């Protein structure tokens, strides 16, 4: 069963077993504007919770995307190299960034569920 969590920095993580898909939320892509470049980590890289996972460049700014959990990069969305605008079009589906193999599922504790994230966004 899939389970989605969010950070206050507008990353999402959708967990399925010991693997998870990470990307940015619809709010984040809207704030960035048209995304023109994404730098993703290599497959096999170990990422620690809070560490920069990717770099996103838009017509407005460049921004780091931070990992909500620790894990090993097991897949990257290489389609974003050719078409970074997929993040603007479908951030929670076709615009995902990486898949991680979780090191410690307990790190999910403290992340926001969808309702809490929506409340957070409304407060901004």
pLDDT at 1: 35
pLDDT (tens digit, 9 = 90+) per residue, 59-91? 999 999 999 999 999 999 999 999 999 999 999
According to DSSP H, which parts of the chain are helical? 26-32, 79-82, 86-89, 114-122
d(CA 100, CA 54): 13
pLDDT at 2: 53
Range 2-122 has CATH code 2.40.50.100 = yes
- Other residues' Cβ atoms within 10 Å of the Cβ of residue 86: 19
pTM, 2 dp:
0.94
Per-position pLDDT tens, the chain of length 124: 359 999 999 999 999 988 999 999 999 999 999 999 999 999 999 999 999 999 999 999 999 999 999 999 999 999 999 999 999 999 999 999 999 999 999 999 999 999 999 999 999 9
């Amino acid at each position: 069963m899939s389970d989605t969590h969010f950070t206050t920095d507008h990353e999402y993580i959708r967990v399925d077993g010991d693997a998870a898909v990470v990307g940015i939320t619809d709010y984040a892509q809207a704030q960035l504007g048209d995304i023109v470049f994404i730098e993703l980590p290599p497959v096999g890289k170990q990422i620690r919770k809070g560490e920069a996972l990717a770099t996103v460049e838009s017509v407005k700014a460049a921004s780091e995307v931070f990992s909500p959990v620790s894990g090993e990069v097991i897949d990257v969305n290489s389609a974003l190299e050719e078409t970074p605008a997929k993040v603007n079009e479908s951030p929670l589906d076709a615009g995902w960034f990486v898949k991680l193999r979780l090191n410690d599922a307990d790190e999910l504790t403290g992340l926001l569920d969808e309702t809490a994230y929506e409340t957070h966004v409304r407060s901004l």
